[in-house]
Amino acid sequence: MTTHVGMPPVLSAEEADKAVLLAAPRGYCAGVDRAVVTVEEALGLYGAPVYVRKQIVHNKHVVSDLESRGAIFVEELDEVPAGATVVFSAHGVSPAVHAQASERGLKTIDATCPLVTKVHHEAKRFAADDYDILLIGHAGHEEVEGTAGEAPEHIQLVEGPQDVAGITVRDPKRVAWLSQTTLSVDETLETVAAIRERFPDLLDPPSDDICYATQNRQLAVKEIAPQSDLLIVVGSGNSSNSVRLVEVALEAGARASYRVDDASEIDEAWLEGVRSVSVTSGASVPEELVQGVLSFLAERGYPEARAVHSAEESLIFSLPKELRRDLKAAAAAKG
Ligand code: SF4
């Protein structure tokens, strides 16, 4: 699924004047691709409008593009007319939301990323074994709300090491941790270490909760950051993994790093005296927005970008089963 390639990104003599490094991998992950295609296919199959609870992925360009094609984004299910089709976003929903949809007779398509669903299953299993579960994540993030909703009486949120002293559990020997999929790997390790210091019998999740895409994009940034006078992250402000990339870039040695939704948000002043610029993008960002940033740089005398590969990705998720079933039925009806 993922292979570490590990090419050290050394600037060549020709690049010594000005250079642009392009992180790889960057941009769309398998879960985002699946969620966006789900809405596109639903629009094609059922016709507009198709309702989507919350932003399907955290990128304002993706959302406005789908809106222009007939998707209607709502915050809660009571905004969806009875009997309509509603897609659940890649970040996942709690069982209470599924129950509400069923009560209202809505047709649902669940585009929750399978790697988020995996964390939901872990939460249910730890809760069934009656563990207190410490969920490391950001308060108010949709993914955290969905995961916590699987076992609200067992789960408490931990935002960082600063929260650890205030944790109260029923039995210090029966404590487990889980995490949001899009956190900083290094910060999460710090938080886990602080929790383990208080609860030495702490149980780990069966496998990494921070997903492959988050880890690979952080790894790619760490490789290029030390050589970057400026590292531009393309991504929306509510995209957790994009915001983390700026933090990772600065920690890994980039002299400056900023997040932009697209090239129009780049401040010309950021380029003053800047020789090497690096570019990456969060997991919900279409590649055309990155290409827009590269064109912006080219117009200001920067050379063609050189990709720096730190990992290969080939993971693909199949579409939600409800949608596959309906697509198959429609194809059969056509003969
Ligand atoms: S960032 Fe990770 S968890 Fe989130 S949609 Fe992409 S693959 Fe899934």
Whole-angstrom CA distances from 309 to 3, 22, 123, 217, 219 are 10, 9, 34, 10, 10
> Using 50, 70 and 90 to split pLDDT, how confident is the model at 16?
low
pLDDT digits (tens, 9 = 90+) for 96-154: 999 999 999 999 999 999 999 999 999 999 999 999 999 999 999 999 999 999 999 99
For residues 282 and 234, the answer to whether their CB atoms sit within 8 Å is yes
Ligand 1 mutation pick, 141, 214, 245, 315, max ligand atoms within 8 A of CB = 214
For residues 62 and 14, the answer to whether their CB atoms sit within 8 Å is no
Q: 9-13, 127-131, 169-173 — which is least confidently predicted?
A: 9-13
For residue 10, what pLDDT is reported? 52
Pocket of ligand 1 (CB under 6 A): 29-32, 90, 113, 115-116, 181-182, 211, 213-214, 241, 283
Is the pLDDT reported for residue 71 higher than 60? yes
Whole-angstrom CA distances from 81 to 8, 53, 72, 85, 102 are 54, 12, 11, 9, 13
- Cα dihedral angle (158, 238, 267, 304), rounded to 10 degrees? 100
Is the pLDDT reported for residue 283 higher than 80? yes
> Using 50, 70 and 90 to split pLDDT, how confident is the model at 17?
confident
For residue 3, what pLDDT is reported? 39
Which ligand 1 atom is nearest residue 283's CA? Answer: 1
Distance from C-alpha of 154 to C-alpha of 124, rounded to nearest angstrom: 9
Which ligand 1 atom is nearest residue 241's CA? Answer: 1
Ligand 1 mutation pick, 2, 28, 29, max ligand atoms within 8 A of CB = 29
Report the nearest-CA residue for atom 7 of ligand 1. 31
pLDDT (mean) for 57-79:
98
Candidates 41, 122, 142, 143; catalytic one: 143
For residue 313, what pLDDT is reported? 98
Backbone angles phi, psi at 154, to 5 degrees: -105, -15
For residue 2, what pLDDT is reported? 43
For residue 12, what pLDDT is reported? 54
For residue 297, what pLDDT is reported? 98
Report the nearest-CA residue for atom 8 of ligand 1. 31
Which ligand 1 atom is nearest residue 90's CA? Answer: 5
Report the nearest-CA residue for atom 5 of ligand 1. 31
Backbone angles phi, psi at 312, to 5 degrees: -110, 145
pLDDT digits (tens, 9 = 90+) for 230-281: 999 999 999 999 999 999 999 999 999 999 999 999 999 999 999 999 999 9
Q: If you measure from the C-alpha of residue 29 to the centroid of ligand 1, how many angstroms do you get, rounded to a whole number?
A: 6
Residue tagged 């909760």 (tokens): 209
SS3 string of the chain? CEEECCCCCCCCHHHCCCEEEEEECCCCCHHHHHHHHHHHHHHHHHCCCEEEECCCCCCHHHHHHHHHCCEEEECCHHHCCCCCEEEECCCCCCHHHHHHHHHCCCEEEECCCHHHHHHHHHHHHHHHCCCEEEEECCCCCHHHHHHHCCCCCCEEEECCHHHHHHCCCCCCCCEEEEECCCCCHHHHHHHHHHHHHHCCCCECCCCCCCCHHHHHHHHHHHHHHHHCCEEEEECCCCCHHHHHHHHHHHHCCCCCEEEECCHHHCCHHHHCCCCEEEEEECCCCCHHHHHHHHHHHHCCCCCCCEEEECEEECCCCCCCHHHHHHHHHHHHHHC
For residue 335, what pLDDT is reported? 81
Q: What are 21's strand-pairing partners?
A: 278, 306
Ligand 1 mutation pick, 181, 238, 240, max ligand atoms within 8 A of CB = 181
For residues 294 and 27, the answer to whether their CB atoms sit within 8 Å is no
pLDDT (mean) for 279-299:
98
For residues 233 and 252, the answer to whether their CB atoms sit within 8 Å is no
Active site residue 150: no
Q: If you measure from the C-alpha of residue 113 to the centroid of ligand 1, how many angstroms do you get, rounded to a whole number?
A: 6
Q: If you measure from the C-alpha of residue 209 to the centroid of ligand 1, how many angstroms do you get, rounded to a whole number?
A: 10
Length of the chain (residues): 335
Q: If you measure from the C-alpha of residue 57 to the centroid of ligand 1, how many angstroms do you get, rounded to a whole number?
A: 10
Written as one letter, the residue type at 93 is V
Is the pLDDT reported for residue 87 higher than 60? yes
Distance from C-alpha of 90 to C-alpha of 305, rounded to nearest angstrom: 31
Q: If you measure from the C-alpha of residue 56 to the centroid of ligand 1, how many angstroms do you get, rounded to a whole number?
A: 12
